[in-house]
Structure 1
C-alpha cells in the first residue's frame, strides 16, 4: 500500500477519460422539456475529476480526444479555465463528436439525456498514450468508460503498462455506463481485467455486483480484489456509506446528508476529494470522509465541474455540517 499512497501523496495525476459539455436547465427545479435557459459547463467523468482535483490543490493533466469543432474547443477552454493541463488533449476531425449531457437540477424523475454517438474520446490511440511523459506524474487515474470501445480500450491498457514501467500506481474508478458498451458480457470481462491491473479500485455496490455477476456478490468481489497486497478497494453503498478495504482491514464510513438537487457528479467528486485529501496528508479514513463530503456538496448544487468544492469550501462544509451518518 505504501507505493500507492506515496504515488497519491505526490499529488501529480495523469487522468484518462472523457471531457464533454454539460447543459443543465435553469433555474433549479426546471424540467429540461420546459426550460427556456440552459447553462453550459464542463462535463464528462474524467474531466470533472480533473477539475475537482485542481480545485483541491492537486495537479491534473487529462489525456483524451475532443472533436475539432466549437464544442471540442469549448471543452479545452473550460479545462484550462479550471487549471487542468491540456497538453495531451488531441483534436480529431471527421464525424467524431464530444459527448453532450442535457440534464436538470431536480431529484424527482431526474432526466439526463446523453449524446454519445461517434464519441470523440474513444479515439485515443497508442501513439497518444505513448506521448505522455509518465515520469512527470506520480499516479494514473482512469474512469471505466475509456474501456468501452476501441481504440481507447487497448490504448488505455497500454497506458497502464507505460505507467507501471514508470513506477506509477493505477487508480481505477469503475464508472460503468451500460449505454457505452456493446454488451454486458464484454463490459464485465474488460472491467474485471482493468480492476486486476489496478492498485486502487473505487466503485459502488451495483458496479462491483455487475463485475461479480450479481449485486448480492458485490461486497465479496470487493473483498476478493482487496486481497492482493498493496491494493485498496473502496465499496460505495450510497446512503449506507462506504467500506474501504486496505491492509486486511475493513474501514466503514458514513455520508453527509444534504438536500440534493441532482444525483450526478457525486462519484467524480468523491474520487477527487479522496485523492486530494490523501495528498494533503489526511489519513485514508479521513480522506474517504472528505471524498463523501465533496460528493454531498456537488449533488446539492447545479452542474458538476462548477459545483466541485475548493479546499476552503470543503473544510467549511465539514465544520458546519452534521455527520457522517450511515455507518
Structure 2
C-alpha cells in the first residue's frame, strides 16, 4: 500500500504520549507570576490524534498513563476529543504521566516539561502486539517514543507489524534532547526510525541533527526521499517548507499571524497535512493547509484545544491574505 492510499483510509493508529498541559491565565502571564492556571490535553501524539478527529478522521492511541488523577484526566480528555483509547493502559507504581507547564507568550517564553519516570515509556512489545494493525490505514508516531526502553523496542516492533500489515509509517522526528540519554544515541535511533518511514516530517534542526550538522539537513531530507520515503517535509519555520514527493521538490510559504505562543505548531501541522491528504488534495494544498493549522494553533491558547476543525480552517484560509511567497 502506498502512503497516500493508507492515509486515504482516514483511520490512523497513533503511538505515543498523552499528557496534561498547564498554562498561566490570562495569556501573557509568566509562570512565576501566576495566580491561576488553565488546563488542557497535551502530548505530541495525542495532539495529532485529536487534530485528525476534528477533521473527521478516526484515530486510536497506543500508550500508557499513570493510574492516578493526572492519568485519569488524560483518559477523560481522549474521550472528549473522540480518540479511541482501547490501547491506552493505566499503570500503578511510581511512574507518572507527563506534565507540561508552559507560558502563552512568545517573549522569554518558558516551557517546563516533567518527564521523570514517564509512564508512556513503559509501553512494551506486548502492548503493540495486542493491536490488530489490519484495522487501520496508517501508523503515526513522534520521535519521543524512541527515547527510552521499553517504549523504543515496542515502537520498532510496531513498525515491523505495520509493515507486515501493509500500513505506511508516518514519522515526526520531534527531537527533544531532555528525553534522551545522549545525543549520540538519539542520532542513531532516530536515523534508524527515519530509514523505515514512508512519510517523514521534521524541521531543519532535526534533519540536521540526524545528518551530523544543520548545514547537512536539507541534503539528508533529499536523500531519504530518494532512497526510502515517499514523502519528506523539511520545515524551515518562518521560511516555509520544502517537500520532496514523487521525484519533485516543492517549496511553500507560511500564513503569518500574531503568535500567542510557540508551542503546538508541529502537531497541528501534521494533523492538517494528513487530513488534507486523506481528502485527496494535492501535495501543495496539503502542506499549505498544514501550515495554516500551525498558524491557527500558535495564535490561540492551548494545544489540543487550539486545534482547528474543517470549518475553522476554511474560515481562516478565506480571510487570510497568505501564504507568503517563497
Normalised to the residue count of structure 1, the TM-score between the two structures is: 0.99
CA distance in 2, matches of 1:33, 1:325: 37
Residue in 1 that maps onto 2:77: 78
Query: What residue number does 2:317 align with?
Result: 318
Map of 1:103 onto structure 2: 102
Partner SS for 2:116? coil
Measured against aligned partners, the alpha-carbon deviations of 1:13-39 in whole angstroms (never above 9, x if no partner) come to 000010000001111111111111101
**Offset from partner CA, 1:251-299 (integer Å, 9 cap, x none):** 1010000000100100000000000111112111101000000000000
Q: Which residue of 2 aligns with 1:174?
A: 173
Tell me how far 1:49 sits from its aligned partner.
0.5
Match of residue 7 from structure 1: 6
Q: Which residue of 2 aligns with 1:165?
A: 164
- Equivalent position of 1:40 in the other structure: 39
Counterpart contact for 2:197–2:228, Cα < 8 Å: no
Q: Does the 8 Å CA contact 2:203/2:237 hold for their aligned counterparts?
A: yes
What is the aligned partner in structure 1 of residue 291 from structure 2? Answer: 292
Secondary structure at the residue paired with 1:86?
strand
Note the C-alpha offset of 1:231.
1.5
Whether the aligned pair in 2 keeps the contact of 1:56 and 1:311 (CA below 8 Å) is yes
In the other structure, the counterpart of 1:249 is 248
Question: How far did residue 120 of structure 1 move?
Answer: 0.3
Native 8 Å contact 1:230 1:247 kept in 2? no
Q: Take 1:136 and 1:70, find their aligned partners in 2: how far apart are those partners?
A: 31
Quick one: structure 1 residues 35 and 229, their matched pair in 2 at CA, closer, same or farther if it must change by over 3 Å? closer
2:52 aligned residue: 53
Residues 129-148 of structure 1 mapped to structure 2, 5 A cutoff: 129-148=128-147
Secondary structure class of the residue paired with 1:117 = coil
- Tell me the secondary structure at the aligned position of residue 106 of structure 1: coil
Distance 1:18 1:236 in 2: 23
Is the Cα contact below 8 Å between 1:241 and 1:326 reproduced in 2? no
CA root-mean-square deviation: 0.8
Q: Which residue of 1 aligns with 2:224?
A: 225
Q: Which runs of 5+ in 2 are unaligned?
A: none
Aligned structure 1 segments of 4 or more residues deviating by more than 4 angstroms: none
Deviations 1:38-61 (A, max 9, x none): 011100000111111101111000
Output the TM-score relative to the length of structure 2: 0.99
CA–CA separation in structure 2 for the residues paired with 1:163 and 1:73: 29
Name the counterpart of 2:262: 263
Paired position in structure 2 for 1:280: 279
**Measured at CA, do residues 108 and 92 of structure 1 come closer, stay the same or move farther in structure 2, by a change above 3 Å?**
same
CA-to-aligned-CA distance 1:186-231 (integer Å, 9 cap, x gap):
0000000000000000000000000001100000000011102662
CA distance, structure 2, for counterparts of residue 16 and residue 230 of structure 1: 19
1-structure distance, mates of 2:224, 2:279: 27
Rounded Cα–Cα distance in structure 1 between residues aligned with 2:286 and 2:231 = 13
Deviation (angstroms), 1:326 = 4.6
CA deviations on 1:228-249 (whole Å, 9 max, x unpaired) are 2662100000000000001111
In the alignment, what sits opposite 2:26? 27
With over 3 angstroms needed to count, the CA separation of the structure-2 counterparts of 1:99 and 1:326, relative to structure 1, is: farther
Residue 68 of structure 1 corresponds to: 67
What residue in structure 2 maps to residue 301 of structure 1?
300
CA contact (8 A) 1:4 1:230 kept: no
Could you tell me whether the CA contact under 8 Å between 1:17 and 1:142 is conserved in 2?
yes
